[in-house]
Structure 1
Amino acid sequence: MNKTILATGAVLGGIAVVLGALGAHALEALLEPDALSSFGTATDYQMIHALFLLFLGVVPLPDSDKRWIYRLIFWGVICFSGSIYLLTLGPLLGIDPGFLFWVTPLGGLLLIGGWVLLLIRVLRSLA
């Protein structure tokens, strides 16, 4: 489990760096300031949660606990950051991603759930 968590954290972190560079250099002239800011928020959250996964991969918790936290964070990043990427890039790609309006808050709830579950499991392990 730890290998999967660490590898996912590394991949998400690497992708966040690439997308952050894309946003800072290539998209600056193509996106409105609000869309560019949203794109930056998506890369920031992706990187924060990539680091979260790297931490999770080394924290001493049972694999069953890690598995649930990992799922919440992974799918939270996919839904939250992924939907923002599609919402901001949709006009450039010629697609209308308006149907994704509900995916971003769902992703946020999954991310919050991952943090809360980590807190519960760590507090339980300290008791």
Structure 2
Amino acid sequence: MKLFIVLGAINMFLAIALGAFGAHGLQGKISDRMIANWHTGAQYHMIHALALLFIGFLVSKVGSSPLVSTGGWLLLTGILLFSGSLYVMALTGVKQLGAITPIGGLAFLVGWVCIAIAAIKQL
């Protein structure tokens, strides 16, 4: 599915740009704890952007599956909620945003379960 390849590529660009910004632009401007949060957000962002690329290629090879598609959308949701909340929390210092982060983590987990079930059904 070209859409997941496009979404993966856009998110890879964003993950690299935001990771570099955190490493070079935020040093000395926010606390070490918030830098660590930013780094965690960028790391998960990059991993799951690669996963979106993988899903796009997987669909192109084995065909579309509602479970794979749902998994992809859940991974994108995880990027937005998990990484996004960490980015915003680091920039604003509003620690209450940390309550959103686990929802994004749950979206990642359920997304991977969907992909695993789809793979098992293909065997």
- Report the TM-score, using the length of structure 2 for normalisation: 0.91
Task: Give RMSD over aligned pairs.
Answer: 1.2
Unaligned runs of 5+ in 2: none
User: Which amino acid is 1:101 matched to?
Assistant: G
Structure 1 counterpart of 2:82: 80
Change (3 A) 1:61 1:114: farther
Deviation at 1:66, TM superposition (A): 2.6
Q: How many residues align?
A: 120
Q: What per-residue deviation string (whole Å, max 9, x for no partner) do you get for residues 69-103 of structure 1?
A: 11110111100000000111014xxxxx3442321
Q: Which residue of 2 aligns with 1:123?
A: 120
1:125 Cα deviation (Å)? 0.5
Q: Deviations over 1:25-60 (max 9, x none)?
A: 110111111110110000000000000011111112
Letter in 1 for 2:92: G
Name 1:52's counterpart in structure 2: 51
Aligned to 1:102: 99
Runs of 4+ in 1 over 4 A off after TM superposition: none
Partners of 2:45 and 2:63 in 1: CA distance: 23
Return 5+ residue gaps in structure 1 as ranges. Answer: 92-96
Whether contact under 8 Å (1:61, 1:122) holds in the other structure is: no
Deviation at 1:64, TM superposition (A): 2.0
Question: 1: distance between equivalents of 2:63 and 2:103?
Answer: 26
Give the share of equivalent positions with the same residue, in percent.
34
Instruction: Pick one of 46, 62, 67 that aligns with 1:65.
Output: 67
Per the normalisation by structure 1, the TM-score is 0.89
Q: Could you tell me whether the CA contact under 8 Å between 2:82 and 2:100 is conserved in 1?
A: yes
Counterpart Cα distance in 1 of 2:119 and 2:63: 8
Q: Distance in 2 between matches of 1:99 and 1:27?
A: 21
Corresponding position of 1:42: 41
